[in-house]
Amino acid sequence: TYVIAQPCVDLKDRACVDECPVDCIYEGKRMLYIHPDECVDCGACEPVCPVEAIYYEDDVPGEWKEYYDANVHFFDELGSPGGAAKMGVIEQDAAMVAALPPQEH
Ligand code: F3S
Ligand code: F3S
């Protein structure tokens, strides 16, 4: 799966959403999250993020490794909705993201 990391927090550019062929990039309150089971690893989202927030799971920089878990756990209660567009903004975040101080960009 691909993973969205810290640069997305409090920015949410959303360029990635338009590129995803399976609509598996979901919008939380402070960042977007890629569904680990719905993502087909096409790589289309990665180059379009203006702040380089998106990485293949094996390539997430060390300082942001915990974002793998953040992307996975965001869906603990949501399960596999099968499409982000119909969900709109989901008014929650992974716990570690919710706990971050406001991010400057
Ligand atoms: Fe976030 Fe970059 Fe997408 S800022 S919403 S991961 S284009
Ligand atoms: Fe979607 Fe492909 Fe990225 S399936 S989340 S655009 S790797």
ipTM surpasses 0.95: yes
Q: Which ligand is nearest to the CA of 37?
A: 2
pLDDT of residue 105: 85
Distance CA 73, CA 33 (A): 10
- Expressed in angstroms and rounded, the spacing between residue 6 Cα and the centre of ligand 1 is 10
User: pLDDT, tens digit, for every residue of 28-50?
Assistant: 999 999 999 999 999 999 999 99
- Expressed in angstroms and rounded, the spacing between residue 52 Cα and the centre of ligand 1 is 8
Can you list the pairs that 99-104 forms with residues at least 24 positions away whose Cβ atoms lie under 8 Å? 100/6, 100/9, 100/30, 102/10, 103/6, 103/9, 103/10, 103/11
Ligand 1 touching residue 12 (CB < 6 A):
yes
User: pLDDT, tens digit, for every residue of 58-91?
Assistant: 999 999 999 999 999 999 999 999 999 999 999 9
**The model scores a pTM over 0.95:** yes
